[in-house]
Amino acid sequence: MNIVFLDTMTLGECDLTPIKQLGELICYPFTTPQECLQRSKDADIIITNKVVLNKEILKQLPKLKLVCIAATGMNNVDLQVAKECGIAVKNVAGYSTKSVVQHTITLALGLLSKISYYDQYVKSAEYTKSPIFVNLKYDAVDIDNKKWGIIGLGSIGKGVAKIAMALGASVSYYSTSGKNAQGYPSQSLESLLKESDIISIHAPLNEQTKGLIGEKELSLLKNKAIILNLGRGGIIDENALAQELKKREIYAGLDVFEVEPMQKNHCLLSKDIPQERLLLTPHIAWGYVNSRKHLIEGIAQNIRSIL
């Protein structure tokens, strides 16, 4: 089997041995749309994380038997055309649940503790000039007794709820799909936004969630509330969020953005936004070491399923 991995750079440094054992593996760090067809034409199996396989490309790959998506989302492959061409398409689900939960808690605690400010304060040598042993310029806030609202109570949301409660928070949720989840009180979106001290988003991007949190919704947040997006970019209106951060004391932590990578001069990079109110990471919550190991094992298992 000829196996072509079109964008290994998206997985960082990791051991691809489980895949190499199943065929002749050719790896490309990154593949542009113009390079995709040429690199794929002799493949029996293609592995792609974010490289798009559209109708035009799939129709010209008669040898192709399987597309393995190195992710959970499948929107980069034309599934209908793949089916018409007899090409199986398999993703890997659930591999990153624990790391996304951990990253969510990390962002929340980082914002509550103002850790980025205090880290920079010490590293800049300002601390060496202090006449006293401590700096309490910004309040580090306990999570205990806070209200944590979760938007999207799937496996990740439930994992976050479990840890939040262990740290002393009370948990409620809003279901974007309308499905009920046992064990936690359900709220309307409006009530959850008004009442929660911390809101974390763990929903997929679809017709129900695109633009779910816009200017009106952000205006409902408590002063000093924290909003976190670990779901998909596009759920929060980033321009509206930037304006709200400039106007009043709310906090935000984002690992996902509407356009990735962020565009130059992005609104959230404005110098008018106090940086202690904002933590941004480059879509890494899924990519912790164990998560990538589980992902590679899942890809290998998907390949074995057709051999």
Write down the catalytic residue from 103, 232, 292, 294: 232
Would residue 304 show up in a list of annotated catalytic residues for this protein?
no
**Closest CA relative to residue 4, chosen from 43, 51, 30:** 43
d(CA 91, CA 220): 37
Active site residue 232: yes
Residues 165, 185: contact at Cβ < 8 Å? no
Catalytic residues: 232, 260, 283
